[in-house]
Chains A and B, each alone.
Chain A
Amino acid sequence: MSKTRPLARMAAGAAGLACVGAMLAAPAGAAVPAHAPGHNAATALSGNGPIAVPTISAVTFAGKTADRSLLELPSNPLVSAKVLHSTAKADSARSAVADVLIKKLDLSAHAIVAKCSHGHGTVDLVSAEAHGQKLAVSPSKNSAIKVGLGKLGTAVVTLNKQTHAPDGSLTVTAIEAQVPLGGKKETIDVSTATCAPHHGKAPIGPGHPGKPAPSQPPSAQPSQPPSNNGQAPAPTPVHHDLPVTG
């Protein structure tokens, strides 16, 4: 853990400053990518939590195009899906899943696609809806919707989740669903793609201050819903790590 004071204020022996107070964990980036850093990779579906959801069609580019498909997801209580396909190439990664249904959230889609190329990520949702709400074909980055599940709690569905790893690689997840399950949480990722930054330069992300890589789209839409009657809304917290002064 390091903290830096202006040089003029450094006293002799200050190099051995003990880090007291807020001992922050070293930032791991907004989220740890599921794939090896610096490699283009894609995963059609994965899960993490009390219910075993298999990782399907996970591929990584390692010198030649990697491609994997599965016609139908093995039966599990949370999610059903067909034609799960991932491709990882030298300059891009793509993952697509068809006929997705997460019954608990009343979330369905004809197709869910994530693409990542040269540090730029895009998501396509075809005929997608969640809890009666139609989802945009090209949702804003890191937009989130909450689905109330009554006594079971609230599920959070993040669309077009984009995070940067410390090495600058971008991971795009078309849909991330966090489902409360008996006090615990199940996270399901549908269509994830990871790619290296454009021309090797890291785009802006946690711990990487500076100018954005040219390929990074400049616009970003809120995870905070639009204002209501001119009133600024309460924010939706975003998963992100920033070492603050504690």
Chain B
Amino acid sequence: MDVTRSATSVTAVVVAAVAFLAAGCGSSDSPQKAPNPKPLSKGDQARLPQATTYGTVNGAPADPAPNAAQDGTVLHVTKDVVVYDKPGGKAIAMLPAQQLNGPTWVPVIAKQAGWRQVLLPSRPNHTSGWLAGGGGFKEATSSYRVAVDLAKHKVTVTNGGKTAGTWTVAVGSKKDPTPTGRTFVLAALAPTHPTYSKLIFPLGTHSNSLDKFGGGPGTVALHGWPDSSIFGHNVSHGCVRFPENALTTLARIPLGSPVTIT
């Protein structure tokens, strides 16, 4: 739990490489030398948009495979890091080490010569960014997967390929559908004054029909719901609503874990 109080942000100078845990990611590392990130002053970093659920990052490359499975490689971002549009490319955002008062964990969708392409929690949906190797994050693996089948109103959570739970759920209405594609578990929140759910799991995706909702940025989440009559129906404003007994299993899912919505 030690933490330095230095206010130094990650600079653009590549430091000694950190040994990453081996994890396949679809495309193996290219043998060529990693392009260095372009130097960025602290002032320039401060002017970049924040890649959070509240933010919009323009120029972020689209997820090249928004409906593909993801292998479970996740990054725990330990320092605010610069996000680039490609290895050695233009800086487009800062990915802070905190999301919603908790730690930042994002899924890795590709690697190239020490760089990591990750899904971003910001708008627009299905966007990504590249993080330079050399510090600011640690790699790990999540064995959990969340599969949301909107047509069947069914969610299956697996752990290591084995079913950890399956539930009939409520999903977004025709007017405010739950967005499809791959995303991830962004946070695990315990509301200050819980109303419909003791725990809420915001995802790295947003409603496509609502720019804002209830004062928030239109973040879609997984959460409980006390009225069982809604399950099997399209009634929410985008969130996936679970029976309350699902929360125990949902609470075990590591942040950054892949969520596919079809």
Contacts and interface: CB of A to CB of B under 8 A. Distances in A.
Interface of A: 1-6, 9, 19, 21-32, 122, 135-143, 159, 162-163, 204, 206-207, 209-212, 214-215, 217-224, 226-227, 230-246
B1 A231 contact: no
A242 B216 contact: yes
Interface in B83-104: 96-98, 100-104
A238 B193 CA distance: 13
A26 B254 CA distance: 28
B239 interface: yes
Among A23, A139, A159, A231: residue with most chain B CB under 10 A: A231
A145 to B, nearest CB: 8
Nearest to A30: B101
13 contacts: A3-B210, A22-B239, A23-B195, A136-B2, A141-B3, A163-B101, A219-B80, A222-B103, A224-B255, A230-B23, A235-B251, A245-B220, A245-B221
Interface of B: 1-9, 21, 23, 46-47, 49-50, 52-55, 74, 76, 78-80, 96-98, 100-105, 138-143, 172-173, 176, 185, 187-193, 195-196, 199-200, 202, 207, 209-221, 223, 235-239, 241, 251-257
A215 B220 CA distance: 31
Given A223-B103, A226-B76, 13 more contacts: A3-B214, A4-B213, A21-B236, A140-B1, A209-B52, A209-B217, A232-B74, A234-B254, A238-B189, A239-B189, A243-B216, A245-B213, A246-B238
Contact of A244 (B50, B190, B219): B219
Contacts, number: 246
Given A2-B214, A218-B9, A232-B142, A242 B1 contact: no
**4 closest cross-chain pairs (CB), A and B:** A209-B54, A243-B216, A222-B103, A243-B214
B108 to A, nearest CB: 12
B21 A122 contact: no
B182 to A, nearest CB: 17
A224 B213 contact: no
B3 A140 contact: yes
B235 A232 contact: no
A73 to B, nearest CB: 26
Among A3, A9, A19, A204: residue with most chain B CB under 10 A: A3
Contacts of B5: 122, 138, 217
A241 B192 contact: yes
B216 A27 contact: yes
A245 to B, nearest CB: 4
A22 B171 CA distance: 12
A188 B101 CA distance: 20
B50 A212 contact: yes
A211 B219 CA distance: 19
A207 B216 CA distance: 7
A31 B192 CA distance: 7
A6 B46 CA distance: 29
B249 to A, nearest CB: 10
A26 to B, nearest CB: 6
Contacts of B213: 3-4, 243-246
Contacts of B237: 3, 21-22, 245-246
A4 B103 contact: no
A138 B3 CA distance: 6
A207 B50 CA distance: 14
B212 A235 contact: no
Contacts of B241: 246
